[in-house]
Every structure is written in C-alpha cells, then in structure tokens.
C-alpha cells in the first residue's frame, strides 16, 4: 500500500531514514510534506537530527540502543506499543535511542552559546582575487575577494567546522556521522551535504541554497531552507524569501544565468556580489522589464556592457556607484 503523507504525525523511524539518506522516494515525499506543514514540525526535525548526529559521532552500540528501546516499550501504554515498529535494523535502533532522549526531555540536544574556539588557523587569508580551498573531507570552498576562512587548530581528521568572514560558496561532501558547520556573524549554517552561498557584508548576513537542505540559526530562531530559498538576517531576525541561488554564486567564475530577473533583483545582486551602490533612474520605466539569458562577466566593463544590452538601458559606473537609466 502506498505511504500517505500525514501533516500532523510522522513515524520517527521514517524521519531517521530521511536524515540518514536511506529514505525511499515515497518516504522522502512524506517527510517534505510534513516539514512544510508547520514550524513545530521543523523544530522537531532539528531536534531529532541534532540528537542523531551526536549518536553517530558517539558511536552508540546496537546493544545500548536495543536496551533503550526495551525501556521505552515498558514506559508506554499498550495501545502506543502496538503502533510502534518492531522490526530490527540499525536505523530502527538509532530511532529507539532518539525516542529515549526525546522522552527524557532532550537532555543531550546540541547547543552552543559561544561556538568560537580559543585557537583558529587561517585556511584562506583576505586577498583581492577569488580563492579556492579543498578540505580534508573533499569539501570545496570558493572564497570571494576580501573574505577569509578559519578552522580549529586541531590535528584530528574529519574536522567539519569553519569560521567565515566575507562571502563564500560551499560544495559540502555528505558525511552522515558529522555535520558541516559554517559560522558567520549573526548566523550559523549546519548541513550534511549540500551546495550553498553564504554572504556576509555590512548590510546583511544571508545564505542561499543551491542543492540539499540546510539549517540556518540566528537570534534563537532556526529555519530549514530548501533549494532556491534564502535566509537573511534583517533587524536581528532571520527571514525567508526565494531567489535564484546561481546568481549569488556567479562571482566565483563570472557565469551568470538570468531567468526572468527584474531590474530590482539586478540592483540587489550588484550590491551583494560586488558591493556596488546602485541607483535606478526613472524606475517606473523598468517595472515590466525582466531579462533571461546567459552571459560571462569577466570585469566591470563587461558587466556594464552585458547588463546594458539585456536591459536596453544606459549603465555607467561612477566610483562605487552604478547608475541604471532608460535609453
């Protein structure tokens, strides 16, 4: 019988399979429907995911998990016991231990009041060009000019936590036993295996998701972000909207793929990617203007020329300002 999405309840074992990358397409669809149903479901997802990650890192044995499972069964009413799965398998045993921790009040939830360690080493220092770094776990990072990346000063293998100043694009290799974390001012990004851009400048801190799911945490609020979504910190609050994430990573190679992009989106993109202040003269004349197409932008001159042709507008650069006006 096909599995039916339930927006109110979800079997923890299916959630664990989803987190562990073992869920079937039907189960994955169930989890995604359930996640979108309410903020409470998203909060529970983060709780279970954090506990599960800790269990994997701590290498909890099957015997320990099985004993925990038996203790849970003894504490639940007979009717609830009948609804719980009785199959055996490694993912079920982890699910049992998760349930024990949740019933115990989440005593082992992953929390960080001040995540910055005492000693950090610089992987990428601030330079005027795009830099790339390949981590030991094969994660690749592109750092925008003016940015830097640091890690803990430790010798252990598998370190998956970085501190970023500026902006960078990440392609994170999935390792279920240890999530990857990015710390920037006002925000922490937690992933297992995704691609995304983190942008931190004098205006805002934001993360844009290209592939996979990520957790963005800021000012005691957590957001689960899907591809095409952006989490942005504005006035000490994290907000969600939708963007074309490819455009916000295009600074690394100049490959821009516009899809029905408005002039206001272009102005925001120029601010985020290059730090320009943008002035649009007679904006009402661009109200219905949207551009699509692919262009290669190699320098400021090609940027203004390409955008001018696509917008059918006059574009000029004055210092750190770009002015867009109708022809």
SS3 string, 218-262, reads: ECCEEEEECCCEEEEEECCEEEEEECCCCHHHHHHCCEEEEEEEE
Tokens representing residue 137 in the block: 């776990």
Tell me what pLDDT residue 101 has: 45
Does CATH number 2.60.120.1440 belong to domain 120-242? Answer: yes
Q: Which residue has the higher pLDDT, 23 or 228?
A: 228
Q: Which residue has the higher pLDDT, 33 or 94?
A: 33
Q: Is the pLDDT of residue 158 over 70?
A: no
- Compute the average pLDDT of residues 173-187: 86
Alpha carbon distance 246, 161 (integer Å): 24
pTM beyond 0.85, yes or no: no
User: Which pLDDT band, with edges at 50, 70 and 90, does 83 fall under?
Assistant: very low
Alpha carbon distance 92, 98 (integer Å): 10
Q: Is the pLDDT of residue 191 over 70?
A: yes
Over the stretch 192-212, which tens digit does the pLDDT of each residue have? 789 999 998 777 899 999 999
Q: Is the pLDDT of residue 241 over 50?
A: yes
Tokens representing residue 20 in the block: 């562990």
Alpha carbon distance 105, 56 (integer Å): 20
User: Which pLDDT band, with edges at 50, 70 and 90, does 56 fall under?
Assistant: low
Tell me what pLDDT residue 150 has: 92
Q: Is the pLDDT of residue 87 over 50?
A: no
User: For residue 50, which of 163, 174, 192, 182 has the smallest C-alpha distance?
Assistant: 192
Q: Name, of 51-55, 94-98, 169-173, 318-322, the range with top average pLDDT.
A: 169-173
DSSP β-ladder status, 167-171 and 180-184:
unpaired
Least reliable range by pLDDT among 49-53, 204-208, 228-232: 49-53
Tell me what pLDDT residue 102 has: 44
User: Which pLDDT band, with edges at 50, 70 and 90, does 65 fall under?
Assistant: low
Q: Which residue has the higher pLDDT, 52 or 95?
A: 52
Least reliable range by pLDDT among 150-164, 172-186, 197-211, 291-305: 150-164
Tokens representing residue 17 in the block: 């399979």
Give the number of other CB atoms < 10 A from CB of residue 73.
14
Alpha carbon distance 291, 310 (integer Å): 6
The overall average pLDDT reported for the chain is 77
Query: Could you tell me where in the chain the CATH 3.55.50.30 domains are found?
Result: 254-326
Please list, in sequence order, all residues whose beta carbon lies within 8 angstroms of the beta carbon of residue 236, skipping any fewer than 6 positions away.
Answer: 186, 219
Tell me what pLDDT residue 66 has: 55
Q: Which residue has the higher pLDDT, 192 or 244?
A: 244
Alpha carbon distance 292, 295 (integer Å): 10
- Compute the average pLDDT of residues 74-98: 47
Q: Which residue has the higher pLDDT, 94 or 41?
A: 41
Alpha carbon distance 174, 160 (integer Å): 11
Alpha carbon distance 185, 27 (integer Å): 36
Over the stretch 267-307, which tens digit does the pLDDT of each residue have? 988 888 888 889 999 999 998 999 998 888 877 778 888 88
Query: Could you tell me where in the chain the CATH 2.60.120.1440 domains are found?
Result: 120-242
Tell me what pLDDT residue 21 has: 65
Tell me what pLDDT residue 297 has: 83
Q: Which fold has domain 254-326?
A: Phage tail protein beta-alpha-beta fold (3.55.50)
């Amino acid at each position: 019988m096909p599995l039916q999405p339930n927006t109110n309840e979800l079997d923890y074992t299916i959630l664990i399979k989803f987190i562990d990358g073992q869920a079937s397409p039907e189960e994955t669809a169930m989890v995604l429907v359930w996640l979108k149903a309410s903020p409470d479901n998203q909060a529970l997802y983060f709780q279970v995911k954090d506990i599960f990650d800790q269990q994997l890192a701590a290498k909890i044995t099957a015997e320990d998990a099985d004993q925990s499972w038996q203790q849970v069964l003894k504490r639940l009413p007979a009717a609830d016991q009948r609804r719980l799965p009785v199959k055996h398998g490694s993912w079920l045993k982890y699910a049992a231990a998760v349930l024990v921790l949740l019933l115990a009040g989440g005593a082992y939830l992953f929390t960080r009041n001040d995540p910055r360690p005492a000693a950090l080493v610089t992987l990428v220092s601030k330079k005027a060009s795009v830099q790339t770094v390949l981590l030991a776990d094969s994660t690749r990072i592109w750092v925008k000019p003016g940015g830097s990346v640091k890690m803990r000063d430790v010798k252990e293998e598998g370190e998956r936590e970085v501190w970023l100043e500026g902006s960078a694009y990440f392609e994170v290799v999935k390792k279920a036993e240890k999530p990857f974390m990015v710390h920037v001012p006002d925000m922490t990004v937690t992933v297992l295996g995704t691609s995304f851009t983190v942008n931190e400048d004098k205006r805002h801190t934001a993360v844009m998701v290209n592939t996979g799911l990520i957790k963005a945490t800021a000012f005691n609020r957590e957001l689960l972000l899907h591809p095409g979504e952006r989490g942005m910190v504005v006035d000490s609050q994290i907000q969600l909207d939708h963007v074309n994430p490819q455009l916000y990573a295009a600074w690394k190679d100049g490959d821009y793929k516009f899809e029905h992009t408005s002039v206001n989106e272009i102005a925001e993109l120029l601010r985020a990617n290059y730090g320009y202040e943008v002035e649009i003269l007679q904006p009402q004349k661009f109200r219905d203007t949207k551009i699509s197409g692919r262009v290669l932008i190699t320098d400021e001159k090609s940027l203004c020329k390409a955008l001018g042709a696509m917008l059918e507008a006059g574009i000029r650069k004055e210092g750190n300002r770009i002015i867009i006006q109708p022809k």
